[in-house]
Amino acid sequence: MSAPTATRALRPAASAIGASGTASTHSAAVALSPSATPFDALVREAARIGERARSVAGEREAGDRELFAEVDELKASGILGAAVPARLGGPATAAGDVTPSQRAELLRVLAYGNGSLAQIVQPHFVFARWLFSGRRPDSERAWAERILGGALLSNAQAERGPHVAVTLADDAKSARLDGVKYFCTGSPYADHLAVSAFHHGASDETLPDVVAFVDALAPGVRLVDEWDALGQRLTGSGRVELDAVSVGAENVFAFDIDSLPAYGAFAQLLHAAIDVGLAEAALDEALDLARAAGIGGELTEHLAGELAARAFTAGAVLESAGRAVDQAFDAGVDAYGRAALAVGAAKATTGELTVDIASRVFELTGTRGIAPSVELDRRWRDLRTHTLHERRRDKLRILGRSFLDAAPPATGTQF
C-alpha cells in the first residue's frame, strides 16, 4: 500500500516559536532545576513506549502509517529531555549530563520495540546539540523549556543533486528559507525543524553553511509524507517544502560541525544503536517462537548459539564505540579522531552482523516465522532499509585509508 502523498493535518505543536524566536503562549512552563527523573526511569519509559509501538506496528503499516499516539507518549515521557544539559534542567546523571552512550541506549531500547520510533528520535538528539552549544546563550533557556515540555526536533537536511538548493536570504533582523528537502525523518511529528541551507553570499554551494530552526507549523512550511519504502515505514521520512519561511536570526547557526565534539561520530553511534536494538528483537522473537513450537535438535541449537554470539558481539561493539564518543565529548579535539574511527568500525560491523541476524532467524523458526501474523519480517525489512542510509563499502574504504595512513578520517556528518 502506498503511503499517503497529501499533506498531513498536523497536531498542534507541544511548544512553538514565532519567526522572532520568542515562545508562543502555549509553550510549556518548566522549572529549570536539575530533573528528578533518573536515567533508569527514562530507559523504562523507552521500553514501555517501544512495546506499545511494537504492538500496533503491523496495523499501522497496513493502515495510515503513522505513530502519532506513540510519539505523543514519547513527548510526555521525558525522554526527549535527555538532549538538554543538566544545567538547564535536563536529566542529571552521575556523569552530569546524559552521556552520548546513554542516549544511544535509549534509542537501542526504543528500536527493540519499534525501529521507526527510534529513528524519529535520532535527529532530535543530534540537532539539539546546536541549541546548547553556547553560541546563542540568550536563547538556550527558552529552547530548554520547549524540549523539556515535550517539543520534538526533526531534520530537513537531504537534497537531490550535488548543490544545496535550499537557500537562506536575510537582512539585518530576519531571514527567509526557500526550497525543498527530502527524506526528512520524523517531520510529520515534529514541533521544530532543523533546516540546513546555503546562505546567500557563501562561496561553496555544495555544502550547507547554516542550520536554521523553524516552527514546523510556521507559515510557508508544508510537510508531505510521501515516504514509501521496504522498511522503517512509520518514520514519516517525506519531504519538507519551504516557501519564504521566516526565521529569527537568533535561530540560525553556522554549520560548523568541527565546533561540536564528535558530531558525525555521535550521529552514527545513534544509528548503530537502532540497528542493534532491531537485531536483538528479531533474535528474541525467533527464539520465543522456536520454544513455543518445540523446535530443537543439535543444528537448531548450533544456529541459536551462533546468532546469539553475533548479537552479543554487535552489542559489545556498540558499547565500546559509545565509550569512545563519551571520551570525545569530555576530552575535546584530541579524542575526536579516535571516536570517528571507533564509531566507523562499529557501524560497519553492526551493519553486517545485524542484517545477518535478522535474515537467518527464519532458519530458526522455519515456515512458522513467515506467517504474516508473526511479523518477524518487519525486523528484517527495517534493518535492511535503515542500514542502507550509507554504503558500508564506502565506510570500510575510508577506515582502511585511515589505518594505512595512520591518520584519523576527516570528520563530517558520517564520521
CB atoms within 10 A of CB 202: 16
In this model, does residue 236 exceed pLDDT 70? yes
DSSP per-residue letters across 145-195: HHHHTT--EEEE-B-SSSS---EEEE-SSEEEEEEEEEEETTGGG-SEEEE
Burial of 263 (0-12, 13-18, 19+ CB in 10 A): buried
Three cell numbers written together for 218: 510556521
Dihedral angle, C-alpha 157, 354, 189, 220, nearest 10 °: 20
Gap between the Cα atoms of 114 and 278, Å rounded: 8
Three cell numbers written together for 278: 532491531
In this model, does residue 9 exceed pLDDT 60? no
User: Domain-by-domain residue ranges, the chain?
Assistant: 39-152, 167-256, 258-405
Sign of CA dihedral 202, 135, 154, 322: positive
The amino acid at residue 47 is A
Q: Tell me the percentage of the chain whose pLDDT exceeds 90.
A: 74
Q: What is the phi/psi pair of residue 167, to 5°?
A: -120, 155
Strand partners, 248: 174
Lowest mean pLDDT among 21-35, 174-188, 291-305: 21-35
pLDDT of residue 172: 65
**Mean pLDDT value of segment 6-15:** 33
pLDDT of residue 66: 94
Contact, 88 vs 142, CB < 8 A?
A: no
Q: What is the CATH number of domain 167-256?
A: 2.40.110.10
**Mean pLDDT value of segment 281-298:** 95
Gap between the Cα atoms of 38 and 184, Å rounded: 31
**Mean pLDDT value of segment 206-231:** 94
Contact, 216 vs 154, CB < 8 A?
A: yes
Domain 258-405 maps to which CATH number in 3.40.50.12780, 1.10.3720.10, 1.20.140.10, 3.40.50.720? 1.20.140.10
Three cell numbers written together for 265: 561520530
Closest CA to 151 of 119, 120, 124, 123: 124
| Structure confidence at residue 15 as a pLDDT band (50, 70, 90) | very low
Contact, 265 vs 343, CB < 8 A?
A: yes
Please list the helix, strand and coil fractions of the chain in percent, rounded to the nearest 5, in that order: 55, 15, 30
pLDDT of residue 206: 67
How many Cα neighbours within 13 Å face the side chain of 234? 29
Q: What is the pLDDT of residues 88-147, one digit of tens each?
A: 999 988 879 999 999 999 999 999 999 999 999 999 999 999 999 999 999 999 999 999
Q: Could you name the CATH architecture of 39-152?
A: Orthogonal Bundle (1.10)
**Is 210 in a helix, a strand, or coil?**
strand
Closest CA to 125 of 238, 267, 255: 267
pLDDT of residue 31: 42
Gap between the Cα atoms of 187 and 192, Å rounded: 8
DSSP per-residue letters across 290-330: HHHHT--SHHHHHHHHHHHHHHHHHHHHHHHHHHHHHHHHH
Q: Please state, in angstroms and as integers, the Cα–Cα distance from residue 374 to each residue in 48, 158, 319, 377, 385, following that order.
A: 20, 34, 30, 8, 20
Lowest mean pLDDT among 50-59, 89-98, 271-280, 397-406: 89-98
